């Protein structure tokens, strides 16, 4: 099987060259909502996601506002929005629609960010935090993205899964208010191993989110007991 992550990144670079940082979506000229602190308190992060490479179509016709409201009513203070178009069928429009008019919920843009100008776009679309995947970003570029993210007032959620990722994270955590995300799903194969986040929690230099692989109340409680500040459920 080919490396799914490599395919996603290669096609994303191609789309960026052709469509720019907004990927062909009309976005606001300025941000229209105040920044909301991401993960100000420990808690769940619920996800707006239309599809995925592992599950295929999940909810292609979802209504971002309706789903947002359901999540808020369920008690979520953070919502993740998948904006990748090819494999997850999302877009920046989903983020803009979901975040507009809301001043109390923090929104995470979850995507495969590769370029600095994507952060300005994320900010204008209402993101309060942005996922940065350490595995696909060289150290210098990751640092540039983290610094830019912080300068805009957004929280960098730096996703780690391997030792090399945690080395990058440790350097950044000494200078920037980053949050770690540990993905139990290997983005190269999309196989899930919850023991990966369990084994990494003791090596992380900052607060962290347990990503993917949690499907029962008992599993969520286990992640909380490990010391994770957030649990991302998509």
**Per-residue pLDDT tens for 15-25?**
999 999 999 99
Number of helices (H), then strands (E), belonging to the chain: the values are 8, 10
pLDDT tens-digit readout, 129-172: 999 999 999 999 999 999 999 999 999 999 999 889 999 999 99
Question: pLDDT of 184-202, one tens digit each?
Answer: 888 878 888 888 898 999 9
The mean of the pLDDT values for the chain is: 94
Q: What is the pLDDT of residue 127?
A: 98
Share of the chain above pLDDT 90, in %: 81
Q: Which helix (H) or strand (E) holds 208?
A: strand 208-211
* pLDDT score of 112: 97
- For helices 117-124 and 139-151, angle between their N-to-C axes, nearest 10 degrees: 30
Residue 127 neighbours by CB under 8 Å, 6+ apart:
95, 99, 107, 108, 109, 154
**pTM of the predicted protein model:** 0.95
Contacts of 116 (CB under 8 A, 6+ apart): 144, 145, 148
Using the predicted structure, report yes or no on whether residue 212 has a pLDDT greater than 90.
no
């Amino acid at each position: 099987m080919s490396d799914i992550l490599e395919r996603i990144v290669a096609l994303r670079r191609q789309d960026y060259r052709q469509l720019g940082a907004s990927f062909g979506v009309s976005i606001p000229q300025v941000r229209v909502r105040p920044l909301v602190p991401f993960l100000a308190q420990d808690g769940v992060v619920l996800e707006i996601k239309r599809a995925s490479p592992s599950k295929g179509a999940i909810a292609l016709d979802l209504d971002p506002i309706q789903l947002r409201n359901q999540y808020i009513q369920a008690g979520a203070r953070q919502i993740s929005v998948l904006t990748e178009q090819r494999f997850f069928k999302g877009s920046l429009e989903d983020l803009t629609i979901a975040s507009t008019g809301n001043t109390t919920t923090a929104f995470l843009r979850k995507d495969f960010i590769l370029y600095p100008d994507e952060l300005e776009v994320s900010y204008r679309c209402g993101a309060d935090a942005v996922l940065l995947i350490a595995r696909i970003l060289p150290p210098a570029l990751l640092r540039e993205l983290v610094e830019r993210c912080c300068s805009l007032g957004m929280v960098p959620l730096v996703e780690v899964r391997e030792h090399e990722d945690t080395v990058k994270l440790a350097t950044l955590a000494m200078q920037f208010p980053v949050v770690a995300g540990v993905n139990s799903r290997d983005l190269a194969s999309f196989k899930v191993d919850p023991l990966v986040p369990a084994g990494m929690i003791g090596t992380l230099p900052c607060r962290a989110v347990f990503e993917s692989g949690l499907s029962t109340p008992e599993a969520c409680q286990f992640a909380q007991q490990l010391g994770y500040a957030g649990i991302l459920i998509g």
